[in-house]
Amino acid sequence: MKAQGSNARVGMQYGLQALQTRDTRVTLALGTGYRLTPYADDGIAGTGPILRGQLEWNQALGRYARLSQVTRLETGRHGAFLRNSLLLNVQLRPALTLSSGVELRRDRDLAGRDQTDATVKLKYAF
Protein backbone atom coordinates (compact mmCIF):
# COMPACT_ATOMS: atom_id res chain seq x y z
CA MET A 1 0.00 0.00 0.00
CA LYS A 2 1.39 3.42 -0.88
CA ALA A 3 0.33 7.02 -1.27
CA GLN A 4 1.02 8.68 -4.60
CA GLY A 5 1.26 12.31 -5.54
CA SER A 6 2.43 14.34 -8.52
CA ASN A 7 1.43 17.38 -10.55
CA ALA A 8 -0.93 15.08 -12.51
CA ARG A 9 -2.76 13.10 -9.79
CA VAL A 10 -2.94 12.18 -6.12
CA GLY A 11 -4.23 8.97 -4.58
CA MET A 12 -3.67 5.68 -2.79
CA GLN A 13 -2.61 2.40 -4.36
CA TYR A 14 -2.77 -1.17 -3.12
CA GLY A 15 -0.63 -3.76 -4.86
CA LEU A 16 0.18 -7.42 -4.50
CA GLN A 17 2.52 -9.88 -6.05
CA ALA A 18 0.20 -12.59 -7.35
CA LEU A 19 2.90 -14.98 -8.57
CA GLN A 20 6.67 -15.29 -8.40
CA THR A 21 8.72 -18.20 -9.63
CA ARG A 22 12.23 -18.40 -11.02
CA ASP A 23 10.99 -17.49 -14.52
CA THR A 24 7.64 -15.73 -13.98
CA ARG A 25 6.39 -12.73 -12.00
CA VAL A 26 2.84 -11.30 -11.96
CA THR A 27 1.85 -8.21 -9.98
CA LEU A 28 -1.49 -6.44 -9.62
CA ALA A 29 -2.25 -2.92 -8.40
CA LEU A 30 -5.50 -1.07 -7.77
CA GLY A 31 -5.81 2.53 -6.71
CA THR A 32 -8.19 5.44 -6.28
CA GLY A 33 -7.39 9.09 -6.50
CA TYR A 34 -8.05 12.47 -8.04
CA ARG A 35 -6.79 13.51 -11.49
CA LEU A 36 -5.38 17.05 -11.43
CA THR A 37 -4.11 17.28 -15.03
CA PRO A 38 -5.91 15.72 -18.03
CA TYR A 39 -3.99 13.20 -20.18
CA ALA A 40 -0.84 13.28 -18.03
CA ASP A 41 0.87 9.96 -17.13
CA ASP A 42 -1.54 7.78 -19.13
CA GLY A 43 -4.66 9.37 -17.73
CA ILE A 44 -8.18 10.31 -18.74
CA ALA A 45 -9.32 13.46 -20.55
CA GLY A 46 -10.55 15.47 -17.56
CA THR A 47 -10.03 16.17 -13.89
CA GLY A 48 -11.87 14.53 -11.01
CA PRO A 49 -12.06 11.25 -9.09
CA ILE A 50 -10.47 8.21 -10.76
CA LEU A 51 -10.05 4.47 -10.40
CA ARG A 52 -6.77 3.06 -11.70
CA GLY A 53 -5.57 -0.50 -12.13
CA GLN A 54 -2.43 -2.20 -13.44
CA LEU A 55 -1.36 -5.74 -14.32
CA GLU A 56 2.33 -6.50 -14.88
CA TRP A 57 3.67 -9.82 -16.19
CA ASN A 58 7.35 -10.76 -16.69
CA GLN A 59 8.45 -14.07 -18.19
CA ALA A 60 11.96 -15.39 -18.81
CA LEU A 61 12.30 -17.09 -22.19
CA GLY A 62 15.46 -19.06 -21.68
CA ARG A 63 18.70 -17.62 -20.43
CA TYR A 64 18.98 -14.56 -22.68
CA ALA A 65 15.42 -13.37 -23.40
CA ARG A 66 12.67 -11.78 -21.31
CA LEU A 67 9.08 -10.97 -22.26
CA SER A 68 7.13 -8.39 -20.27
CA GLN A 69 3.64 -6.95 -20.49
CA VAL A 70 2.13 -4.01 -18.63
CA THR A 71 -1.59 -3.22 -18.89
CA ARG A 72 -2.87 -0.04 -17.21
CA LEU A 73 -6.46 1.21 -17.09
CA GLU A 74 -7.79 4.46 -15.67
CA THR A 75 -11.47 5.42 -15.57
CA GLY A 76 -13.41 8.36 -14.20
CA ARG A 77 -16.18 10.83 -15.01
CA HIS A 78 -14.51 11.77 -18.31
CA GLY A 79 -14.15 8.30 -19.84
CA ALA A 80 -11.44 5.66 -19.81
CA PHE A 81 -7.80 5.33 -20.87
CA LEU A 82 -6.11 1.97 -21.53
CA ARG A 83 -2.40 1.39 -22.19
CA ASN A 84 -1.02 -2.04 -23.02
CA SER A 85 2.66 -2.60 -23.80
CA LEU A 86 4.40 -5.83 -24.72
CA LEU A 87 8.22 -5.85 -24.74
CA LEU A 88 10.82 -8.45 -25.69
CA ASN A 89 14.44 -8.00 -24.57
CA VAL A 90 17.11 -10.30 -25.99
CA GLN A 91 20.72 -10.19 -24.81
CA LEU A 92 22.80 -10.89 -27.93
CA ARG A 93 26.22 -10.44 -26.33
CA PRO A 94 27.29 -9.39 -22.83
CA ALA A 95 27.30 -5.74 -23.89
CA LEU A 96 24.55 -5.76 -26.57
CA THR A 97 20.80 -5.97 -25.91
CA LEU A 98 18.04 -5.87 -28.52
CA SER A 99 14.71 -4.52 -27.28
CA SER A 100 11.50 -4.62 -29.30
CA GLY A 101 7.94 -3.90 -28.37
CA VAL A 102 4.40 -2.98 -29.29
CA GLU A 103 2.36 -0.41 -27.39
CA LEU A 104 -1.37 0.18 -27.72
CA ARG A 105 -3.17 3.20 -26.25
CA ARG A 106 -6.95 3.46 -26.22
CA ASP A 107 -8.66 6.69 -25.23
CA ARG A 108 -12.43 6.96 -24.82
CA ASP A 109 -13.72 10.36 -23.72
CA LEU A 110 -17.40 10.80 -22.91
CA ALA A 111 -17.36 14.13 -24.77
CA GLY A 112 -16.80 12.34 -28.09
CA ARG A 113 -13.10 11.42 -28.41
CA ASP A 114 -12.64 7.77 -29.38
CA GLN A 115 -9.08 7.01 -30.51
CA THR A 116 -6.65 4.07 -30.61
CA ASP A 117 -2.90 4.54 -31.21
CA ALA A 118 -0.37 1.77 -31.80
CA THR A 119 3.42 2.13 -31.67
CA VAL A 120 6.13 -0.37 -32.64
CA LYS A 121 9.56 0.12 -31.05
CA LEU A 122 12.93 -1.41 -31.86
CA LYS A 123 16.17 -0.36 -30.17
CA TYR A 124 19.53 -1.73 -29.18
CA ALA A 125 21.83 -0.82 -26.33
CA PHE A 126 25.57 -1.34 -25.87
Return the sign of the alpha-carbon dihedral for residues 77, 78, 79, 81.
Answer: negative
Q: What is the pLDDT of residue 16?
A: 95
Domain boundary assignment for the chain: 2-125
Q: pLDDT per residue over 26-50, tens digit each?
A: 999 999 999 998 888 888 888 999 9
**Consecutive H or E run containing 50:** strand 48-60
Name the architecture of domain 2-125.
Answer: Beta Barrel (2.40)
Q: How many residues does the chain have?
A: 126
pLDDT at 31: 95
> What pLDDT score was predicted for residue 107?
86
DSSP single-letter state for residue 5 = E
Regions in the chain scoring below 50 on pLDDT: none
